[in-house]
Amino acid sequence: MRNYFIAGNWKMHKTTGEAVELAKALVEDLKDGKNKYMIAPPFTALDAVSKVVKGTNVMLGAQNMSTEEQGAHTGEVSVLMLKDLGVQIVILGHSERRHIYKEDDAMINKKVRLALKHGLEVDLCIGELLEEREAGKAEAVCERQLREGLAGVTAEEMKLVTIAYEPVWAIGTGKTATPDDAETIHYYCRSVLADMYGKEVADSVVIQYGGSMKAENAKALLEKPDIDGGLIGGASLKVETFSPIAKFNS
């Protein structure tokens, strides 16, 4: 039985003080929640927020990491640095990293394998552009991103992997895939995972939806059999918009 996993990606928002304030409010509001929770503040706030969430039911996530453990990589943040701050899970392959910063599947795979090597959980994002969906390529794009992003990842390591399906055309646009549209891709992704790792592993992997989920549509999406949570962007920046999603089944 898969547990729902509701995660907040704060992106490039919140100063350290603002991040601590929001983290404290969420820890209090979600302390009796029955789902798995994560918040991913910006790098600059990780240390301060780590102290707030330590020992609670809210995991500390990072929004990205380097392909390398250390070295001459100006501006990068390594897996060792993240672990040192108490980070438990890292978001990799987010559409903004793929399409704005031009990270390809090979680079994302290198990050995935490095994070897993060091025992971090991974939230691997996949999803198609609008033109890819309109061309009937949504499933093919997601399959490629899954197979290449998880290349070299073992069935045992998949216990540390969450998949986040985020149709790029629905991120930050207010548009959302219908629950049936989202379920179709989630089901297909699970079938790809079954081909890669077997049905038992595929049935255990949490697949989140990550395209403009909000309180108004969360329940309809999360009632679908293959949608196991949400990777929330804009709605994760306020307690009053994130908590209703996080506690949708309370």
d(CA 69, CA 117): 11
Q: Tell me the pairing of strands 229-232 and 161-165.
A: unpaired
Main-chain phi, psi angles of 228, to 5 degrees: -110, 15
d(CA 196, CA 198): 6
216, two tokens: 């108004």
Q: Which of 96, 128, 166, 183 is catalytic?
A: 166
Q: Is 10 known as a binding-site position? A: yes
Q: How many residues does the chain have?
A: 250
Give the amino acid at 121: E
Give the amino acid at 136: G
Give the amino acid at 60: L
For the purposes of burial, counting CB atoms within 10 Å of the CB of 237, is it exposed (0-12), middle (13-18) or buried (19 or more)?
Answer: middle
Q: Is 234 known as a binding-site position? A: yes
Q: Which of 94, 121, 132, 183 is catalytic?
A: 94
Q: Is 233 known as a binding-site position? A: yes
Give the amino acid at 95: S
Q: Assess contact for 207 and 122: CB atoms under 8 A.
A: no
Q: Is 119 known as a binding-site position? A: no
Q: For residue 208, count other CB atoms closer than 10 A to its CB.
A: 25
- Rounding to the nearest 10 degrees, give the CA dihedral for residues 78, 197, 203, 2: -20
d(CA 213, CA 152): 31
User: Is 94 considered catalytic here?
Assistant: yes
> Binding site for substrate, residues?
9-11, 172, 212, 233-234
> Binding site, residues?
9-11, 172, 212, 233-234
Catalytic center residues:
94, 166
